[in-house]
Structure 1
Amino acid sequence: MLQQIEKDISCPYCGEVITVLIDNSVPYQEYIEDCQVCCRPIEFSVVVNGEDVELTVNADF
């Protein structure tokens, strides 16, 4: 069963708060998703430990 949780983050480019969906059935993931406001690419690193989700957001200017 696919489980997703919502996380609010601030875009490192425009500063707007956006909501991203995290698949917490995968223990470690890295991916790039465009900001929903300014369309710039945001690099996400996600670590899932049971119920805890650690989300790291990186962006290069």
Structure 2
Amino acid sequence: MQTTAEYYCAYCGETNLSFIDLSAGSQQSYVEDCQVCCNPNILYVRVDEDTLDIEIDTEYEE
């Protein structure tokens, strides 16, 4: 099952939309390019399995 969530680019601060695979577990991390500035962001995704609330933190990929 997939859903979408917003995150802010670590480089330019713009809002991005990402698809989250809920079946991949409650803690995930992966790299996704910003849809605005094209820089790579490391996304740290946490999913509350009871409420399906999604929290995303980002940082620069070095």
TM class by smaller structure: 0.7 to 0.9
Q: Supply the distance in 2 between the matched residues of 1:26 and 1:54 (Cα, whole angstroms).
A: 15
Other-structure match for 1:44: 43
Other-structure match for 1:54: 55
Secondary structure of 1:25's partner? Answer: helix
Superposition deviation, residue 55 in structure 1: 2.1
TM-score, normalisation: structure 2: 0.75
Alignment of 1:1-61 (within 5 A): 3-27=1-25, 28-50=27-49, 51-60=52-61
Superposition deviation, residue 56 in structure 1: 2.1
Give 5+ residue unaligned stretches, structure 1. Answer: none
Q: CA RMSD in A?
A: 1.7
How many residues are treated as equivalent by the alignment? 59
Give 5+ residue unaligned stretches, structure 2. Answer: none
